[in-house]
Amino acid sequence: MHKYFLIAAVLAVIASLLGCQTASTMPDFASANLPPTNLTPANLLVKPSVQIYKDSGFGASHFKTFAVFPPSKVSQDAAIKGEVLERQMLFVLRNYFESRGYRFVAIDQSPDLLVTVDGSSIRKDKHTPPQTFSIPYWVEEPAQAPRGHLAPQAPTRPDGATEAFSISVIVSVYDAKSFKNIWLGTGTGISDNPDLRVSSQALLMAIFNQFPNCRSRFENYPQQSGTLGLGLIVTTSEGTNYYPTVLKISENSPAQKAGVEINDMVVAIDGIPTLNKTISEISPLIYGEAGRTVSMTIKRLNQIRQAEIIRVPIVTKENTPISQSATDAKVEQKAATGSRKARAMEFFEKGQNLAKSGDHQKAVEAFDNAIRLNPEMVASYLYQGISFIGAGKYQQAIDDFTAAIGLNPQSAQIFLQRAQAYHKMGDYGRAMNDMKTAAKLGSKEAQDFLKPLGVPWE
């Protein structure tokens, strides 16, 4: 397994030299130059470098369940040693997959995916030689006018050593039926925290930004009528105690109005401790009866706060969870007497307007709502994919374009957009294949691109 970390580090350097695309969307704790938060111990000194490798036939559309297993089962050279550390890292891995909508099952319950994680933290000390530098110094001379003068001083800073740690993480995903390694995510970074359980979190976040959501993820939500308007992921600040941590807050949501902030750790919900609970255990406490007040105990640095949050309704026919804001609620209320397709069109148009204004993240949410209301609406997948490209999330864009092609395989425009996403990912072979398909389907833009290259498409 050690050879994978070496390969990951070498490829990261090559990618930076060649300008290859790495993950561009980082968590708030992926930089050291930030105000202190609960996750300051997890800060990296520089943005992590992430590379994704996937099997040519990989597609997440039919995968729903997963199980985790220790890396030592794959290789005797696994860097993570000891049953306790393995169990903690697999607990974190489980939560990342659950946050993407996949459902955890035991390994003997026929999961669709088998996943594992390995990682290392290697000390890298940097010696700093003595440094002499000049600074001005004011010399008092009371008997003269003016009463002194500036004179140079040349102090010497002694030599020393700067302690840092090279962090590497590798996430491996296997098709449980064929036992084939179908997806691999590697991340490298530099931290001043030697504890892999803490320092690896920014790397894992960056890796999972490139992993597709479960297409049937909304089936796994509790079928309830209300939400608080926040997104959570399970994190730790010291490597032992894991709490759900606020990753995002919807604008004008009940959580935002109650004063909840990004990176707040939720230590209890309605008096129920959340320590070391999984996303699947926490979700029923977040989603529930609309109109009911939820009492949330929050840890923000060294302060404990109470937030009283009223769940807002999720207005859909099947009570499917929807990203909710005050504007969304008005749109759904206005369209309540219309059909699901009419409401989907409202969200679609809202997404287009948000995308035009450059707010790609909110546009993605709006298109997501449109897809849930009308899963057969090809344009929603297409424009959500375009917004994902705008947000730098190219794998998610590819997944959307692939879903759109499944609904309309004769659309040259969709192949053209997917070619762009593949190009951004550095997958030039697939980009060229999609460009030729687009040209064959009649895209003049694709044909004009291929002609000067002498590439046939018929």
* Window from 54-58, 121-125, 137-141, 261-265 with minimum mean pLDDT: 137-141
pLDDT in tens, 17-49: 333 333 333 344 444 455 788 888 888 888 888
Record: fold of 327-453? 1.25.40
Please tell me the distance from the alpha carbon of residue 30 to that of residue 41, in angstroms, as a whole number.
11
Q: Does pLDDT of 231 surpass 90?
A: no
Spell 324-344 as b/e; 16+ CB within 10 A means b: bbbebbebbeebeeeeeeebb
With CA atoms as reference, report the closest residue to 166 among 275, 46, 59: 46
Please tell me the distance from the alpha carbon of residue 197 to that of residue 39, in angstroms, as a whole number.
12
Of 318 and 128, the structure prediction assigns the larger pLDDT to 128
User: Tokens 């969307």 — which residue?
Assistant: 25
Task: Give the phi and the psi of residue 31 in degrees, each rounded to 5.
Answer: -145, 145
Task: Give the phi and the psi of residue 180 in degrees, each rounded to 5.
Answer: -95, 135
457 sits in which H/E element = none
The dotted CATH code for 221-313 is: 2.30.42.10
CA-to-CA separations, 206 to 123, 203, 393, in angstroms, rounded: 22, 5, 11
Q: Does pLDDT of 14 surpass 50?
A: no
Q: Does pLDDT of 13 surpass 60?
A: no
- CATH classification of 2-125+163-214, choosing from 1.10.3720, 1.10.3470, 1.20.120, 3.30.160? 3.30.160
DSSP, res 241 = -
pLDDT in tens, 350-378: 998 898 888 988 999 889 888 888 888 88
pLDDT in tens, 394-437: 988 898 898 888 888 888 889 999 999 988 888 888 888 999 99
Q: Does pLDDT of 109 surpass 90?
A: yes
Please tell me the distance from the alpha carbon of residue 131 to that of residue 124, in angstroms, as a whole number.
21
Q: Token digits for 170?
A: 């590798």
What is the share, in percent, of the chain residues with pLDDT greater than 90?
31
Asked if 66 and 114 count as a contact pair (C-beta separation under 8 A), the reply is yes
- Banded pLDDT at 133 (limits 50, 70, 90): low
User: Is 221-313's fold the same as 327-453's?
Assistant: no
**Residues 428, 420, 113, 26: is their CA dihedral positive or negative?**
positive
Q: CA triplet 200, 201, 204: central angle to 5 degrees?
A: 85
Q: Which amino acid is at 249?
A: I
pTM above 0.75, yes or no: no
List the domain boundaries for the chain.
Answer: 2-125+163-214, 129-160, 221-313, 327-453
With CA atoms as reference, report the closest residue to 116 among 77, 78, 59: 78
